[in-house]
Amino acid sequence: MADPMIPAGGYSVFTALLIFMIASIGLGIYAQRRIDRSTFLQGYFLGNRALGAWALALTATVQSGGTFMGFPALAYSHGWITSLWIAGYMMVPLTGFAVIGKRMAQLSRRTGAITVPDLIRERYGSPAAGAIASLLIIVFMSCMMVAQFKAGAIVMKLAWPGSDAFAPAAGDVDWAYLTGLAVFAVAVVSYTMVGGFLASVWTDLFQSLMMLVGVMILLLLTVPTVGGLESATREAVAVTDANFASGPGYGTTGRAFLTPGLAVSFFCVWVFAGIGSPASMVRVMAMDSTDVLRKSIVLLALYNCLIYLPLVAICVAGRAIIHHLDKPDEIIPRLALTVTGGLPGGSLVSGLILAAPFGAIMATVSCYLLVISSGLVQDLYLRFLRPHAGMREVRLVTYASMALIGALAIAANVRPVKYLQVLVVLSGTSSAATFVAAAIMMCYWRRATAAGTIAAMLAGSGTMATLFFFGWLQRFAWAAVDAGTGSAFLTSIASALGPDPGIGIADPFRPYYLLGVDPILWGLPISAAAGILVSLCTKPPPEDYVARLFDRTS
Amino acid sequence: MPDANEDPVVATGRREAVVVLTLFLIALTYTVGYCAWQGYKRSLDELTFVFGFPDWVFWGVVLPWGVCTIAGWLLSTFYISNTPLEPAAPPPGAATAETPVDG
């Protein structure tokens, strides 16, 4: 099938986004009423620990704007192998909730902790451990959040009515992008500021359900259009090559997208990112009861079944419908506009589908905004600057911190860093390598010490940073050697690190794949080994202190 | 050795974590093992399709995904225990912020 004419978004998409933003602000105002009836900090940052099964299931694990925009781009570009790339999500409902969920919720109740650094500090009685955790979380979350602002601004720009939605911006100043950035930032900061944790969770739940509806509609519209999945695969292979239907995946850069070693890595990435993400941990801490956790496992398992593999099927069919895209990131919007073009009310359906990833971005930003703000207010301001601040002051500082974070995110995105995506990948996987071992030790190992936990966090993040740095160094040294400008020192570095193995995503800032696997497979065990060794080499924690957190209370 | 005085949430949580992480290792080994064996460097001529999926995708990803979904339901219904979570203590270190001192 030849590439069809692809219509632009127009007013329907813009209206859908507008409705979505208004609904989110409405949820924020409603959430604020709930907070006003309770104590401020616990209500604002933890929703009074009353999260139900639907809210926990569909908001606590790793679903972000990136998941719903970046992943379809990969499926469109590389083909069926992305089903293996994302396969770790089959275990995320169980690992995300059943490994530390129950115990995190109990520990946070016993200590009264409302943030992850709070929990670490109280678990060991160590302000240093809490401060280091807080600092690492603020750095990781800030990197991830800034990139999401850019994604939100781009969706707003694409949806702007009266312009060609997919046309590149002309001129030096991209006013459509800047306006999109401003509208997106004001909307998301205001509803998060007003409604806190509950507003963030409810919007997240709302977008998750919208995404489910969008994916199902798109699946029903695209796959039959090309005569079923087998026919779609054959057509897609005809316009690419056989690797589109097998490993290591289709590509035009000469790189092997997913070798078996990277398949092992990514299976672990999704699972451990779900356990170790501070944003996920906070939501698990907020669950109402263990019954909620059990129901959430079932709900999320069903949800993941209906989202990820259908998305791969949609994008394989998308390749058969739209043979070539310069920007694969646009596959979902373009496909939505294409397949709904001839339907009665099709523009509304495409608006609905396009609003879903926008909602995912808003929900992700809102969640990160809260985690960063809680870090600044609870872990730094109240801990070190004004321990005796009253409620009004805490409210003002919280609102001010959110406005400040929003303003900084806008400033960082006016001229966005070209390779911001690398910070997102580095921060996301580093967060898992930093906190998984520390969290398991905190929950289940009585002998774990504050020094051991600090060692686990620093060893995990240090390993990740080192391997990403080596990846950069490898490219830098080989570029110099290939150009004939490399000094003896650079030549020795290039030869020590070896040539680029030609695997993984064609990212200019890819990491160093030691033994052909992703850095997270090194970061996790090194973090665990450091945590165990340093704990065993340091003085055991006082037994009465540990008993308070590990033993029966009566 | 389990401590008799240890809280049931700690004991059951630890046991459930071990079971879930074992299941994770089995799923990882089967899925990546099967796909590495059957899913790489296949030509379209030798590929068969099961319910529209390339054979290796169906047996290597779709089937274990279904099994893990059922395992999630079975474990959460019959194995993962329900244990009461006690009422929350006041937030640490910032007790005054919880009471309207000046507002």
- Tens-digit pLDDT profile for residues A61-72: 545 566 666 788
Taking CA atoms, A291 is separated from A97, A377, B29, B45, B71, in Å, by 12, 31, 30, 50, 17
Average pLDDT over residues A539-548: 93
Average pLDDT over residues A122-149: 89
Length of chain B in terms of residues written: 103
Please indicate if any CB of chain B lies within 8 Å of the CB of A380. no
CB contact under 8 A, B85 and A264: no
- The answer on pLDDT for A243 being more than 50 is yes
- Tens-digit pLDDT profile for residues A245-270: 998 999 888 889 999 999 999 999 98
Average pLDDT over residues B35-39: 96
Q: Which helix (H) or strand (E) holds A468?
A: helix A450-482
What's the confidence (pLDDT) of residue B101? Answer: 33
Q: Which helix (H) or strand (E) holds A318?
A: helix A290-321
pLDDT band at A237 (very low <50, low <70, confident <90, very high): very high
CB contact under 8 A, A111 and B10: no
Which residues, 6 or more positions from A168, have their beta carbon under 8 angstroms from its beta carbon?
Answer: none
Closest Cα partner for A433 from A217, A273, A548, A260? Answer: A273
- The answer on pLDDT for A490 being more than 90 is no
- The answer on pLDDT for A4 being more than 80 is no
A393: its two tokens? 């002051």
Distance CA B15, CA B12 (A): 5
What's the confidence (pLDDT) of residue A129? Answer: 94
- Tens-digit pLDDT profile for residues A8-62: 556 777 777 788 778 878 877 887 777 655 567 777 777 767 677 777 777 655 4
Top pLDDT among A154 and A216 is at A216
What's the confidence (pLDDT) of residue A61? Answer: 52
- The answer on pLDDT for A169 being more than 50 is no
Task: Give residue for tokens 């800032």.
Answer: A509
What's the confidence (pLDDT) of residue A97? Answer: 92
Separate counts of helices (H) and strands (E) for chain B = 3, 2
pLDDT band at A153 (very low <50, low <70, confident <90, very high): confident
3-state secondary structure of A399: helix
Average pLDDT over residues A267-280: 88
- Within 8 A of A108 by CB-CB distance, chain B residues are 88
Q: Is the dihedral of CA A127, A128, A131, A136 positive or negative?
A: negative
β-bridge mates for residue A489, sequence order: none
Distance CA A525, CA A530 (A): 8
What's the confidence (pLDDT) of residue A219? Answer: 93
* % chain B with pLDDT above 90: 65
Mean pLDDT of chain A: 84
What's the confidence (pLDDT) of residue A212? Answer: 86
What's the confidence (pLDDT) of residue A35? Answer: 65
What's the confidence (pLDDT) of residue A147? Answer: 77
Cβ-contact B35, B61 below 8 angstroms: yes
Please indicate if any CB of chain A lies within 8 Å of the CB of B55. no
Taking CA atoms, A433 is separated from A261, A518, B22, in Å, by 18, 11, 19
Least confident range of A169-173, A225-229, A243-247, A259-263:
A169-173
CB contact under 8 A, A297 and B52: no
For A108, nearest residue in chain B (alpha carbons): B88
pLDDT band at A3 (very low <50, low <70, confident <90, very high): very low
Mean pLDDT of chain B: 86
- Contacts of residues A466-472 at CB distance under 8 Å and 24 or more positions apart, as own/partner, are A467/A511, A467/A512, A467/A514, A467/A519, A467/A522, A467/A523, A468/A422, A468/A426, A468/A509, A468/A511, A468/A512, A468/A519, A469/A512, A470/A497, A470/A511, A470/A512, A470/A514, A471/A509, A471/A510, A471/A511, A471/A512, A471/A513, A472/A509
Cβ-contact A81, A319 below 8 angstroms: no
What's the confidence (pLDDT) of residue A67? Answer: 63
Least confident range of A206-210, A228-232, A503-507:
A503-507
- Rank A91-95, A344-348, A510-514 by mean pLDDT and report only the highest: A91-95
β-bridge mates for residue A256, sequence order: A503
**Strand ranges (E), chain B:** 49-50, 53-54
- Within 8 A of A122 by CB-CB distance, chain B residues are 92
Domains and CATH numbers, chain A: 10-441 (1.20.1730.10)
Backbone angles phi, psi at A171, to 5 degrees: 85, 175
What's the confidence (pLDDT) of residue A286? Answer: 86
For B54, nearest residue in chain A (alpha carbons): A245
- How far is the alpha carbon of A242 from chain B, nearest alpha carbon, in Å? 6
- The answer on pLDDT for A82 being more than 50 is yes
Q: Which helix (H) or strand (E) holds A230?
A: helix A229-239
CB contact under 8 A, B17 and A263: no
- The answer on pLDDT for A497 being more than 80 is yes
Closest Cα partner for A148 from A69, A56, A266? Answer: A69
| CB interface of A with B, residues 212-241, below 8 Å | 223, 228-230, 233-234, 237
Distance CA A256, CA A426 (A): 21
Top pLDDT among A161 and A532 is at A532
Closest Cα partner for A211 from A471, A49, A20, A12? Answer: A20
- Tens-digit pLDDT profile for residues A431-466: 999 999 999 999 999 999 999 999 999 999 999 999
What's the confidence (pLDDT) of residue B97? Answer: 43
- Tens-digit pLDDT profile for residues B59-99: 999 999 999 999 999 999 999 988 888 776 776 654 444 44
What's the confidence (pLDDT) of residue A64? Answer: 59
Closest Cα partner for A507 from A536, A471, A538? Answer: A471
Please indicate if any CB of chain A lies within 8 Å of the CB of B18. no
- The answer on pLDDT for A357 being more than 50 is yes
What's the confidence (pLDDT) of residue A39? Answer: 66
Distance CA A546, CA A448 (A): 10
Distance CA A6, CA A480 (A): 43
CB contact under 8 A, A289 and B82: yes
Assess whether the previous peptide bond of A248 is cis (omega < 30° from 0): yes
pLDDT band at A168 (very low <50, low <70, confident <90, very high): very low
Closest Cα partner for A216 from A81, A315, A82, A353? Answer: A353
What's the confidence (pLDDT) of residue A6? Answer: 46
Top pLDDT among A388 and B62 is at B62
Average pLDDT over residues A154-171: 59
For A249, nearest residue in chain B (alpha carbons): B40
- How far is the alpha carbon of B64 from chain A, nearest alpha carbon, in Å? 8
